[in-house]
A and B are shown apart, each in its own frame.
Chain A
Amino acid sequence: DTEVTQTPKHLVMGMTNKKSLKCEQHMGHRAMYWYKQKAKKPPELMFVYSYEKLSINESVPSRFSPECPNSSLLNLHLHALQPEDSALYLCASSHNQGLYGAYEQYFGPGTRLTVT
């Protein structure tokens, strides 16, 4: 099973709301990633968790707060977002982040976020 699942598929939220995106994988992968993708652009890395610890934060604003409760789950908590944060949010996983980064990334279907 090479599936990464994400919920919800679509999310509309106001600028004062608090919401969470969820990602799950059962492939035994120990590295999990959040990406943001704007229309007609490639994905931009936001965060990387390796063995449930945050290893990369690409200078993402604090209104985005990641959490990795266990090796299968990854959350992205959203608070006080701006309209420009509207995008497709993608989760990915790989066997390991590792020093040699040799492993294949598997992506979920994404959450389409609209901030009004």
Chain B
Amino acid sequence: KQEVTQIPAALSVPEGENLVLNCSFTDSAIYNLQWFRQDPGKGLTSLLLIQSSQREQTSGRLNASLDKSSGRSTLYIAASQPGDSATYLCAVRSYNTNAGKSTFGDGTTLTVKP
């Protein structure tokens, strides 16, 4: 059974700092890993999708990496801004679960202070 862990559960940083969010998974037989952000009471916004054959994806100030062998992904946020404050979730689609079912981590709640 795939298990996904995100550490830390909460993170507070001053504006302008570069930061890294972590996502670990137990079963390396994955199709892809997707990073989302969620603002309080809102839906999930897709940030980056990394296929199992890829090592990293970039979008603006965001860079996500994937190391399947070690069961880890990181989301790097450069020059953080108060508007980046949100909960960040990673979700993994695995060979050994029902096709189409994603396993989510519990998320990291990020606060960027002005």
Contact = CB atoms under 8 A, between A and B. Distances in A.
A34 interface: no
B107 A42 contact: yes
B34 to A, nearest CB: 6
Contacts, number: 65
Contacts of A109: 42-43
B1 to A, nearest CB: 14
A48 interface: yes
B49 interface: yes
Interface residues of A, number: 32
Given A101-B31, A102-B31, A42 B45 contact: no
- Listed from nearest, the 9 A-B pairs whose CB atoms lie closest are A42-B104, A97-B100, A107-B44, A109-B43, A101-B93, A107-B43, A104-B49, A101-B31, A110-B43
A99 interface: yes
A58 B107 CA distance: 22
Contact of A105 (B31, B34, B98, B106): B34
Interface string A64-83: 00000000000000000000
Interface string B44-84: 11100101000000000000000000000000000000000
A101 B32 CA distance: 8
Contact of B98 (A41, A43, A56, A100): A56
Given A97-B100, A100-B99, 20 more contacts: A4-B43, A42-B89, A42-B105, A42-B107, A43-B104, A45-B101, A45-B102, A48-B101, A50-B100, A90-B43, A90-B44, A97-B99, A101-B100, A102-B51, A102-B93, A104-B46, A105-B46, A107-B46, A109-B43, A110-B41
